[in-house]
Amino acid sequence: MERKELPISKKAIILITTLCVGILPIALTLMSLKASQPPNAKLSIEPPSIVYETLVKGQTFSINTTVANVTDLRSIEFKLSFNTVMLDVVGIAFLAEEHLPSGSCKVDDFPGTIWMNITYEGEPITTVNPVALASIKFKMMDCGESPLQFHDTTLVDSFGNSIPHETIDGLVVIMLHDIAIVDVVPSTNETYVGRIVNVTVVAKNFGDVAENFTVKIYHNDISFGTFDVKNLNSGANITIIFNWNTTDVAPSKTPYKVKVEAEAVPYEANLTNNVYFDGDVIIKIVGDVNGDGTVNIDDLVMWDSAFNSKSGDINWNPQADINGDGIVDKEDGMLIIQNYKSSL
């Protein structure tokens, strides 16, 4: 069957036109009203972030709590959390004095909360640009990060109505500077005068920023090496190998103490881990295999027991390898004979 289009009557056209003409102004009005509505009020920390590259214990600084895009603000209540390990509250002042602020506040050091309740006895606050409501003075106590976070916030107008708003938290960062020597390992604990002792040192940056510093190494407080560390990143390690030439070191039965020191970087508070003692090393007379301070028949007996051995052999004795060539042979025996009866 053929489908036929029904003609639209003149009355229908008039009705549709009338409806469109009537609805259009309403739609435009609603759009205009929506566009003219101010954005939600904003409760913020000013400045939003503070970064100190150094810790100066006892130094103070201030932040403000501010409000913006608000109309007819009569009272405000909020909590602000902070890190009590690194910050201490030493002062609070209510601002916007021309609006006659009054109220109360309380600081709770556990868990670290500032509570404020402020009423404006004069004109309520109406503003687009940020207006400071309170100033909080903190004292630096330690390094770290302290978010400044709003909780349980309420803004009320003159009619007792709650004002919709959003909160923008803040952050305080106080940098830690802390370098350390974490390990010291000599290649041997006894050797002959004139031999090289390799000392492996590990330094670490426990701080928050890259550091430049100097590492010094000593035997019995006599320096025998320095190394300049450049741009060691936060959390990073560096391994340094010092070569200790014992040629000018006097042989002794008493071990030499190896000390390594990382010179303090600016504003470093913890210096206890900058110095590391380890690696008692005995420097012996050439040929003194058993280390008793005298070259005698006992040393020849020990050399003979290790004769023709090398590292890994069952009779290997590194102290019998007097010339340090990796094998106990006649050259080592000759050194014992050349120094026979030498003693400390």
Residue that finishes a domain, picked among 174, 208, 240: 174
Asked whether the beta carbons of 149 and 169 are under 8 A apart, the reply is: yes
What average pLDDT does the chain have? 89
From CA 108, how far away is CA 89, in angstroms rounded? Answer: 10
From CA 199, how far away is CA 44, in angstroms rounded? Answer: 55
- pLDDT category at 270 given cuts 50, 70, 90 is confident
Which pLDDT score, from 0 to 100, does residue 267 have?
A: 84
Torsion of CA 153, 157, 162, 167, to 10 degrees: -30
Structural domain includes residue 260 = yes
Based on the fold, state whether residues 294 and 323 are members of the same structural domain: yes
Based on the fold, state whether residues 137 and 170 are members of the same structural domain: yes
Which pLDDT score, from 0 to 100, does residue 30 have?
A: 40
* Domain total of the chain: 3
Residue that finishes a domain, picked among 174, 198, 217: 174
Local structure of 64: helix, strand or coil: strand
Residue that has been written with the tokens 């409501």 in this structure:
133
Which pLDDT score, from 0 to 100, does residue 158 have?
A: 97
Structural domain includes residue 331 = yes
Q: What is the rounded average pLDDT of the residues 293-309?
A: 94
Which pLDDT score, from 0 to 100, does residue 25 have?
A: 54
Based on the fold, state whether residues 108 and 186 are members of the same structural domain: no
Pairing assessment for the beta strands 41-46 and 165-168 based on DSSP bridges: parallel
Structural domain includes residue 3 = no
In whole angstroms, how far apart are CA 8 and each of 1, 13, 20, 162? 22, 7, 17, 53
* Eight-state DSSP code of residue 142: S
Which pLDDT score, from 0 to 100, does residue 312 have?
A: 92
Q: What is the rounded average pLDDT of the residues 103-111?
A: 93
Of 139, 227, 143, 145, give the one whose Cα is nearest residue 177.
143
Bridge partners (DSSP) listed for residue 157: none
Asked whether the beta carbons of 213 and 179 are under 8 A apart, the reply is: yes
Which pLDDT score, from 0 to 100, does residue 120 have?
A: 98
* pLDDT of residue 188 exceeding 60: yes
Q: What is the rounded average pLDDT of the residues 276-292?
A: 92
Residue 293, φ and ψ in degrees, nearest 5: 95, 0
Task: State the amino acid at position 5 in one-letter form.
Answer: E
pLDDT digits (tens, 9 = 90+) for 74-90: 999 999 999 999 999 99
Structural domain includes residue 46 = yes
Structural domain includes residue 303 = yes
Lowest mean pLDDT among 27-36, 137-146, 162-171, 225-234: 27-36
* pLDDT of residue 22 exceeding 80: no
Local structure of 240: helix, strand or coil: strand
- pLDDT category at 266 given cuts 50, 70, 90 is confident
Structural domain includes residue 17 = no
Bridge partners (DSSP) listed for residue 227: 215
Structural domain includes residue 169 = yes
Which pLDDT score, from 0 to 100, does residue 115 have?
A: 98
Which pLDDT score, from 0 to 100, does residue 71 have?
A: 96
Based on the fold, state whether residues 170 and 45 are members of the same structural domain: yes
From CA 84, how far away is CA 266, in angstroms rounded? Answer: 25
Asked whether the beta carbons of 274 and 259 are under 8 A apart, the reply is: no
- Which DSSP helix (H) or strand (E) runs through 60? strand 60-68
Domain that holds residue 67: 41-174
From CA 264, how far away is CA 275, in angstroms rounded? Answer: 10
Sign of CA dihedral 148, 151, 156, 161: positive
The CATH number of residue 336's host domain is 1.10.1330.10
Local structure of 337: helix, strand or coil: helix
Residue that finishes a domain, picked among 174, 207, 231: 174
Structural domain includes residue 14 = no
Which pLDDT score, from 0 to 100, does residue 29 have?
A: 45
The CATH number of residue 116's host domain is 2.60.40.680
